[in-house]
Amino acid sequence: MEIKICPNCSGNGELIVRERITNEFDNNVCGKCNGTGRILTRTYTYEVPFDFDKSSLRKADSQIVDIIRSLK
């Protein structure tokens, strides 16, 4: 895993949000990094033969992505 600066808040851990009604600015905790300013990233790759059955590849890839999303 690699630690990266949160792209949502630029590592500040907070987002400055303008209220629509009052037009005032408010600091909110970043929802992507939970206020830490850092995120953990990991990438995965796989290689298969060119003539591999693409329908089974899509199914496996979809399951991997679902597992990754469940970690949030």
Q: Is the pTM of this model over 0.85?
A: no
Domain boundaries, the chain: 2-70
Which pair of structure tokens corresponds to residue 44? 């995965």
How far from the centroid of its chain's Cα atoms is residue 36's Cα?
14
The angle formed by the CA atoms of residues 2, 11 and 40, to the nearest 5 degrees, is: 20
Residue 56 has pLDDT above 80, yes or no: yes
E-strand spans in 1-72?
2-5, 14-18, 25-29, 38-41
Residue 44 has pLDDT above 70, yes or no: yes
